[in-house]
């Protein structure tokens, strides 16, 4: 990479991609070089925050020199990451300088830890997880891949969070809770009992509002 910087492509072109780009811009030793679009080629004609937008079929040329992170809030970002994997582009894991991650915890590839987030000890975070600003995750907790944890959300210790779970802004999950795959915790909810897969829960305490939901 010549200048010693890790060159980053942000997957996505919507406003959340710009938010992720802003977080990454404050991480030392990385350089954002552009965004990647996979649905609407017309979006490649305009720049975002002064940076180019690359069409997904054009990015193979970056495989030896660039990394990627996903800038999609939706838990269905696995579709995009699977497309990128075909081009052998590696995924970065990025932690904002103001965040705290215990040295006894681990982060999967493609995970972004935002401003002021805290991850306690002996916790495992899966691949392509978005941990938004001010979110906290307690000790001995396991977070599955493609999870989104909203700003200010608090997941306590000894919890098990499945894959593609969306935990809304300001919600609370008390200790020793299990949340099944593909479920949605609404903003401000307080979860005090286990949550099955593919449901929406909301309220204080959180109750099931809808079953058999699809990923958002």
The mean pLDDT value for 8-35 works out to 94
Fold of 94-204: UDP N-Acetylglucosamine Acyltransferase; domain 1 (2.160.10)
What are the residue boundaries of the structural domains of the chain, listed by start?
Answer: 6-85, 94-204
Q: Over the stretch 31-84, which tens digit does the pLDDT of each residue have? A: 999 999 999 999 999 999 999 999 999 998 998 899 999 999 888 889 899 999
Given pLDDT bands bounded at 50, 70 and 90, which one contains residue 157?
very high
Contact 210, 200 (CB under 8 A): yes
Q: List, edge to edge, every strand of the sheet that includes 178-179.
A: 106-107, 124-125, 142-143, 160-161, 178-179
Same-fold call for 6-85 versus 94-204: no
pTM, to two decimals: 0.93
Q: Over the stretch 158-181, which tens digit does the pLDDT of each residue have? A: 999 999 999 999 999 999 999 999
Fold of 6-85: Rossmann fold (3.40.50)
For residue 46, give every residue at least 6 positions away whose Cβ sits within 8 Å of its Cβ, in sequence order, or none: 53
Tell me, what's the pLDDT at 215? 65
């Amino acid at each position: 990479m010549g200048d010693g910087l890790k060159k980053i492509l942000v997957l996505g072109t919507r406003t959340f991609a710009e938010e992720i780009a802003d977080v990454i811009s404050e991480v030392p030793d990385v350089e954002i070089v552009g965004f990647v679009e996979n649905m609407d080629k017309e979006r490649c004609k305009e720049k975002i925050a002064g940076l180019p937008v690359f069409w997904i079929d054009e990015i193979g040329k970056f495989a030896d020199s660039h990394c990627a992170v996903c800038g999609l809030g939706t838990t269905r970002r696995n579709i995009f990451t699977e497309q990128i994997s075909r081009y052998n582009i590696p995924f970065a894991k990025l932690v904002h300088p103001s965040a705290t991650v215990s040295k006894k915890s681990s982060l999967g590839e493609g995970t972004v830890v935002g401003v002021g987030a805290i991850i306690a000890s002996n916790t495992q975070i899966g691949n392509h997880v978005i941990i938004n600003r001010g979110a906290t995750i307690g000790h001995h907790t396991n977070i599955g891949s493609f999870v989104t944890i909203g700003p200010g959300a608090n997941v306590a210790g000894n919890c098990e969070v499945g894959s593609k779970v969306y935990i809304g802004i300001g919600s609370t999950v008390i200790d020793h809770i299990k949340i099944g795959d593909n479920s949605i915790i609404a903003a401000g909810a307080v979860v005090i009992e286990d949550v099955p897969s593919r449901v929406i829960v909301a309220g204080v305490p959180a109750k099931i509002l809808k079953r058999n939901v699809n990923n958002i």
